[in-house]
Structure 1
Amino acid sequence: MKEQSELVPLLTGGKLKSYQLKGVKWLISLWQNGLNGILADQMGLGKTIQTIGFLSHLKGNGLDGLYLVIAPLSTLSNWMNEIARYGTLYHTCLFSVQALRTISFFPSS
């Protein structure tokens, strides 16, 4: 069984609990097999850090793409705090619905 330091070496700022590490491994397995899934643990079990761990794994494997996390407004400050705490996703941007309404993602022809 791979340890945190081997699986997500970029994840700093804390140690995952064993069940959180299993969740990260599950997310990685889904991604490697081209499958989708929902991480639906109970509240307070670390879904945010598991997701950050998964994204850190992708980054650690050279996949520095853009990743979109959609979350309820009530959890956005927690997301930003956790991303800052674990220090692996250096370029983060917080958009509100109002800001998204003003951005054109696709150029008009």
Structure 2
Amino acid sequence: MITLPDDEMMEKYKLNEIWFSIYEYRKEKSKGILGFILLNLLVDKGYAIQVDYKENPRDYLGNIREYWDCETKIVEFEADNDQTYLAKVPADSTLENIYEIKIKPFNG
């Protein structure tokens, strides 16, 4: 299997928008970061929202876009940081994680 060196990975996937330095990226990489990268892409593309820890997530529920033509529920992604990540998913969705990121019903 061919893998990109860390610096090329940072540049190709614009990971400097998530981590400030190559050293921070390397530290996080050892924990498993694919789920976190995917979560940030969901936020970037508007499929999920990111709420700062100082804010009440309930105040932003109206900002979550509706992409499904069915009944939905709001879920929370448990990233290992001080942010809250929310998205609407089909009500019958049973997905429990995206790699290392756990997904749970949002109880606000």
Taking structure 1 as the reference length, what is the TM-score of the superposition? 0.33
Q: Which one has the bigger strand percentage?
A: 2
| Structure with the higher fraction of residues in helix conformation | 1
Higher relative contact order structure (alpha carbons within 8 Å, sequence separation ≥ 6): 1
